[in-house]
Amino acid sequence: MRGRGKDAAVRGWAAAAFAAGAGMTVMVAVGAVGGVGDRATENGARVAAALYEVQGVTDSDVARLLDGRVEMVPVREDPAAPGDRIRREEVAGPGAYAYEAGSLEPSAWISVTPDNRGRGWPWIPTILALPGLLLISAWALARHPSPPPPRYPATIALLSATLLALVAATARQWSHAELEDLGAAHLARGLRAAEIALAAGADPGSAARAAGLPWATVTSLDTPDQLWTMPREVGAAIASTPGLRTAPTYTVEAGGATYYGGSIALAPPTTPGPPTPDGPASAPDTLHLVFLGYEETASPTVPLAASALASALLVSLVLFLLPLSARPRSLRRTLAAWGFLAPAAFLLIVFTFGPLLFSLWISLHEWHLVDPAHPFTGLANYRDLLADGSWWSAIRNTAVFTLHVPLAMAVALALALLTRGSRRAVRWARLALFLPGITSVVAIAVVWKWLLNDGYGLVNRALEGVGLDSVPWLTSPDTALASLMMISAWMVVGYQMVVFQAGLAAIPRDWYDAARVDGAGPLQRFRHITLPGLRHTLFFVLVTSVIGSFQVFGLVYVMTEGGPLGATDVAVYHIYREAWEFLRFGNAAAMSWILFAVVFAATWLHFRFLEGKSAHA
Amino acid sequence: MPDPRAGMKTPARIGLLVAACLIMAAPFLWMATTSLMSQLEVFSSGRLLPENPLWSNYPDALTAQPFARYFLNSLVFAAAVVAGQVATATTAGYAFARLDFPGRDRLFMLFLATMMVPAVIILIPRFLMIDALGWIDSYQGLISTELVSVWGIFLMRQYFRTLPHELEDAARVDGAGPLRIFWSVGLPLAKPAVATLALFAFIDAWKNFLWPLLVTRSMEMRVVEVGIAAFHSTYEINWPYQMAAGVVAVLPIALLFLFTQRYFVRGIQLEGIR
């Protein structure tokens, strides 16, 4: 009786999982298809922005090419924040795309409203729904008495459906990125073909078509008087237009002058017509503007992989809950616990575990902030970093910087021993000792910059006062890093002292008394009682301080900006510059993983060492 | 004031301690005195104290950039982070300490493992996510990533584990559900740990520099730390102004510390002795 009921439950679960998996596959497929149209329109808007840079192109040309409505919107100031331009989403409205046309007078947004091909996925409601649903179901299940009511499968199914929706949305986003990469690769290939053909005096259009771009056409423009009055500038404008970076600029020799031709990637019309036959081979003084298009029907593999992954997850979720459902009490407890964990777990997944994977993903791509194409490059970023001297010098600087930790620990231990047993002195001294560690790093960096000022800083004045030479603390490559180490030690000493005090208080007093009876001197007592007794504390402080010092940023940012001559260029500052100054996110992500590996190795060694020591003790 | 228990070396000890404190405090004292000097005095004389304290440096420096707005932003940011971290850490800490479910300890280890991950590694994806959401230069962009602290979860779990079970058992016998037990029994007992967590969350948020530097663009959204850094590069050689701004940035934390010392020390000791 009981066994048969269980069998039925198992069959029910299996059916539910199957149905959910099938539903998800459909959702993913739909999402991916919608995504292509979406992306085509966005590319189109970029192309339009570039086209407007070319004289003689009219709105109707662009509209025809893009198969959508094209509008010019003058750039306005944002009334809420003067000086800021309004955001492009406000110009374009939902589902449309807008790009700034910089060289138009006055500068304007180009807004393209597509014929409604792609729909955005309701991201926020989906994300918000998940924890809410988890909580509600946890609550509902926890309230029900022990024989499981038939509502259980329904609740789980609801939960699974939400999960699926989330997975589908993610997969759709991924398929976007993948299609974009495919398109970029296609375009690069076609352009290369066109370029080679042109150099050989052949027809670039048919070469590009042969390279797998059925919509490639070549328009011959008259030079130089009519359209290309300023060919270099026009070419440069096209080349620097965001979104067109994948289309390299090429130069054409015509009439003894060099002209820069822009190659424009163009999205195809929705119903592809037959390829247009293009003009005769190029005359020496004709400039070619190559319009390339690519077929966006490539089958996205990422959604399929995501479906497989999600199915596996779903099945394991069901397998996890199945044994519990036989024991409703423990199912109820589990769900209640997950209700408690939901807020923290949700935030950790979204803002820690998710980003960790995402960061790994970024590090495998050539990822530029303003370039929508992120071609997959495998381990190329890591390979390049191995040969990047400036990055390894940043790692070396970071490692050297970390050497201030033992120094600070020695001082902190001395202070802890000094204040041992006298609570009043500690309480009195605490503010002075502690303030450097807890207060504004930037303010501290500024005041130290002033203290260590070459000509007028207090430190150098004091040195001169006693007849010594002043030291270029922050302005010489030989001393700058040492100065930062000194300041950092000054900052962490108070915190370390308090931890040591706690550790000292945990060592039994009798041990000292016994040692004294045995005739041990203060040094021997320190060597044989205090140090072994503090072993765990010492290692804890060492590990946390080393991890902290590997991440130093504020001091460097304010005091030296990595200088002089890169002497204080530490890892996090190097990564910051790579990502937010040079906008090379792929590289920066790879750097951060290398840093992680270094930190992890250091920590692991510490722990191994610690464990080895404890085993012997 | 010799301490009778400390033995014969007391005067030497106190002398050393005073010296150490002076070294530690000297930069702050120098910051305060410089903030009252005129710009000419800073560069010309070798004086340690200003001849005539120039109090007007403070209003002048603080109105040269919208510091009131910076403080408001820091306050909003820190308050939201405290609220978020207390909410997430107490619930999760309670679940890890008191509720029984499969995989609990493995999950806890997984959470703890994230403490070893350098923050910089998730900075780039977080930034891209916040950018994709359109939250750059907004409070929600500043706050949303900082709402959970694994250290806080750890702290709360350790604390909940030290509490006796009897009260909760009594509540359970009375028919209270887990949420009710947590809210009316567990949480009130954990007040000291919550205070410690809130304090640390506040200080960390107040000190946070890199994340606000990345996600804020306009002057209206800057927090104090970013504001001081920007002020520093604008008023490069006007040291009295910069020191005045520095004093104002350090003072709230110093005062907070003065009144809440024991929570600080408890937090550090709880963390140190695992």
- The count of structural domains within chain B is 2
Is A557 within 8 Å of B207 when comparing Cβ atoms? no
For tokens 């050689």, name the residue.
B237
Instruction: State the pLDDT at residue A264.
Output: 37
Same domain flag for B180 and B110: yes
Q: Closest chain B residue to A424 measured between Cα atoms? A: B3
Q: Closest chain A residue to B200 measured between Cα atoms? A: A438
Instruction: State the pLDDT at residue A58.
Output: 58
Instruction: State the pLDDT at residue A468.
Output: 83
B110: closest CA of chain A, how far (Å): 10
**Cα gap A596→A404, rounded to integer Å:** 20
- Kindly provide the residue ranges of all beta strands, DSSP E only, lying in A453-585, ordered along the sequence: none
Residue B118 domain-assigned (yes or no): yes
**Cα gap A11→A17, rounded to integer Å:** 10
Which chain B residues are closer than 8 Å to A546 by Cβ?
none
A39: closest CA of chain B, how far (Å): 15
Is A358 within 8 Å of B128 when comparing Cβ atoms? yes
C-alpha gyration radius of chain A:
33
Percentage of chain A modeled with pLDDT above 70: 44
pLDDT above 60: residue A405: yes
Residues A445, A555 contacting (CB under 8 angstroms)? yes
Q: Which of A144, A353, A439, A576 to mutate to test the interface with B (most CBs of B within 10 A)?
A: A439
pLDDT above 50: residue A371: yes
Which chain B residues are closer than 8 Å to A418 by Cβ?
13, 16-17, 20
Instruction: Report residue A381 CA to chain centroid gap.
Output: 15
Average pLDDT over residues A216-228: 40
- Residue B207: partners with Cβ closer than 8 Å, 6 or more residues away: A438, A439, A440, A441, B225
- Boundaries of domain holding B108: 65-234
Question: What band does A494 get if pLDDT is binned at 50, 70 and 90?
Answer: confident
The dihedral built from the CA positions of residue A306, A308, A311 and A316, taken in this order, carries a sign that is negative
Least confident among A163-167, A378-382, A476-480: A163-167
pLDDT tens digit string along A289-336? Answer: 444 433 333 334 445 555 566 666 666 666 666 666 666 677 778 878
Return the higher-pLDDT residue of A59 and A298. Answer: A59
**Cα gap A298→A443, rounded to integer Å:** 55
Same domain flag for B125 and B9: no
Which chain B residues are closer than 8 Å to A553 by Cβ?
209-210
Which chain A residues are closer than 8 Å to B33 by Cβ?
none
Same domain flag for B71 and B188: yes
Residues A447, B246 contacting (CB under 8 angstroms)? yes
Chain A segment 411-440 residues within 8 A of B by beta carbon are 415, 418-419, 421-422, 424-425, 427, 429-436, 438-440
Residues A444, A436 contacting (CB under 8 angstroms)? yes
Which chain A residues are closer than 8 Å to B34 by Cβ?
450
B202: closest CA of chain A, how far (Å): 11
Q: Which of A320, A450, A550 to mutate to test the interface with B (most CBs of B within 10 A)?
A: A450
Is A142 within 8 Å of B100 when comparing Cβ atoms? no
Nearest CA among A335, A130, A148 for reference residue B102: A335
A266: closest CA of chain B, how far (Å): 25
Question: What band does A142 get if pLDDT is binned at 50, 70 and 90?
Answer: low
Structural tokens at position A108:
């304007």
B192: closest CA of chain A, how far (Å): 18
Same domain flag for B92 and B201: yes
B245: closest CA of chain A, how far (Å): 8
- Residue B243: partners with Cβ closer than 8 Å, 6 or more residues away: A446, A447, A450, B31, B32, B34, B35
Residues B242, A419 contacting (CB under 8 angstroms)? no
Same domain flag for B133 and B13: no
For residue A34, the number of C-alpha atoms closer than 13 Å in the C-beta half-sphere is 17
Question: What band does A118 get if pLDDT is binned at 50, 70 and 90?
Answer: very low
All domains of chain A, ordered by start, with CATH? 382-610 (1.10.3720.10)
**Cα gap B268→A498, rounded to integer Å:** 7
Average pLDDT over residues A11-38: 49
**Cα gap B93→A131, rounded to integer Å:** 18
Which chain A residues are closer than 8 Å to B182 by Cβ?
340
**B88, B125, B210: residue with CB nearest A343:** B88
Instruction: State the pLDDT at residue B83.
Output: 96
Least confident among A204-208, A265-269, A347-351, A427-431: A265-269
**B42, B101, B203: residue with CB nearest A456:** B42
Which chain B residues are closer than 8 Å to A441 by Cβ?
207, 209, 225
A537 touches B at CB < 8 Å? yes
Residue B262 domain-assigned (yes or no): no
Same domain flag for B35 and B164: no
Q: List, as one string, the DSSP characters of B161-205.
A: HHS-SHHHHHHHHTT--HHHHIIIIIHHHTHHHHHHHHHHHHHHH
Same domain flag for B147 and B19: no
Same domain flag for B32 and B134: no
Structural tokens at position A15:
């059916």
Q: What is the CATH number of the domain that holds B78?
A: 1.10.3720.10
Give the full edge-to-edge strand order of the sheet including A217-222: A217-222, A286-292, A264-265
Question: What band does A154 get if pLDDT is binned at 50, 70 and 90?
Answer: low
Is A432 within 8 Å of B118 when comparing Cβ atoms? no
Q: Closest chain B residue to A541 measured between Cα atoms? A: B272
Residue B160 domain-assigned (yes or no): yes
Instruction: State the pLDDT at residue A157.
Output: 62
Burial class (CB in 10 A: 0-12, 13-18, 19+), A536: middle
Is A337 within 8 Å of B153 when comparing Cβ atoms? no
Nearest CA among A166, A5, A40, A8 for reference residue A112: A40
pLDDT above 60: residue A130: no
Residue B79 domain-assigned (yes or no): yes
A99: closest CA of chain B, how far (Å): 16
Q: Closest chain B residue to A538 measured between Cα atoms? A: B272
Return the higher-pLDDT residue of B229 and A98. Answer: B229
A444 touches B at CB < 8 Å? yes
For tokens 């040079």, name the residue.
A582
Residue B186 domain-assigned (yes or no): yes
Average pLDDT over residues A484-502: 89
Q: Closest chain B residue to A595 measured between Cα atoms? A: B118
**Cis omega (within 30 of 0) on the bond before A564?**
yes
Torsion of CA A73, A79, A85, A87, to 10 degrees: -70
Per-residue pLDDT of chain B (274 residues; tens, 9 = 90+): 333 334 445 777 778 888 888 888 889 988 988 888 888 787 776 677 777 788 888 888 888 888 999 999 999 999 999 999 999 999 999 999 988 888 888 999 999 888 888 888 999 999 988 888 888 889 999 999 999 999 899 989 988 988 888 888 888 888 888 888 899 888 998 888 899 899 989 999 999 999 999 999 888 899 999 999 988 888 877 888 889 999 998 988 888 888 888 777 777 766 654 4
A512 touches B at CB < 8 Å? no
User: Is beta strand A97-101 parallel, antiparallel or unpaired with respect to A257-261?
Assistant: unpaired
pLDDT above 60: residue A247: no
Question: What band does A33 get if pLDDT is binned at 50, 70 and 90?
Answer: very low
B249: closest CA of chain A, how far (Å): 7
Burial pattern B96-110, b for ≥16 Cβ within 10 A else e, equals bbbbebeebeebbee
Is A359 within 8 Å of B125 when comparing Cβ atoms? yes
pLDDT above 50: residue A362: yes
pLDDT above 50: residue A232: no
**Cα gap B135→A124, rounded to integer Å:** 13
Is B218 within 8 Å of A359 when comparing Cβ atoms? no
Q: Which amino acid is at B218?
A: S
Average pLDDT over residues A432-437: 84
**A353, A421, A554: residue with CB nearest B6:** A421
- Contacts A–B by Cβ distance under 8 A: 283
Instruction: State the pLDDT at residue A160.
Output: 62
Instruction: State the pLDDT at residue A601.
Output: 86
Which chain B residues are closer than 8 Å to A427 by Cβ?
261
Is B120 within 8 Å of A592 when comparing Cβ atoms? yes
Is A362 within 8 Å of B125 when comparing Cβ atoms? yes
**Cα gap B97→A338, rounded to integer Å:** 13
Q: Which amino acid is at A485?
A: M
Q: Which of B110, B120, B261 to mutate to test the interface with A (most CBs of A within 10 A)?
A: B120
A206 touches B at CB < 8 Å? no
Residue B33 domain-assigned (yes or no): yes
**A142, A596, A603: residue with CB nearest B121:** A596
**Cα gap A333→A141, rounded to integer Å:** 9
Which chain B residues are closer than 8 Å to A593 by Cβ?
121
Give the full edge-to-edge strand order of the sheet including A68-74: A68-74, A108-114, A97-101
Instruction: State the pLDDT at residue A294.
Output: 35
Is A432 within 8 Å of B25 when comparing Cβ atoms? yes
ipTM (interface predicted TM): 0.90
Same domain flag for B101 and B229: yes
Is B124 within 8 Å of A592 when comparing Cβ atoms? yes
For tokens 């070893």, name the residue.
B116
Structural tokens at position B20:
């150490």
Same domain flag for B124 and B39: no
B51: closest CA of chain A, how far (Å): 17
Same domain flag for B80 and B179: yes
Residue B133 domain-assigned (yes or no): yes
Return the higher-pLDDT residue of A212 and A617. Answer: A212
Instruction: State the pLDDT at residue B266.
Output: 75
Q: Is A251 helix (H, G, I), strand (E, B) or coil?
A: strand
Average pLDDT of chain A? 66
Return the higher-pLDDT residue of B41 and A173. Answer: B41
Instruction: State the pLDDT at residue A129.
Output: 52
Residues A220, A343 contacting (CB under 8 angstroms)? no
Percentage of chain A modeled with pLDDT above 90: 14
Is B125 within 8 Å of A354 when comparing Cβ atoms? yes
Residue B173 domain-assigned (yes or no): yes
Instruction: State the pLDDT at residue B1.
Output: 34
pLDDT above 80: residue A566: yes
Instruction: State the pLDDT at residue A394.
Output: 93
Same domain flag for B69 and B38: no
When mean pLDDT is compared over A278-282, A420-424, A604-608, the highest value belongs to A604-608
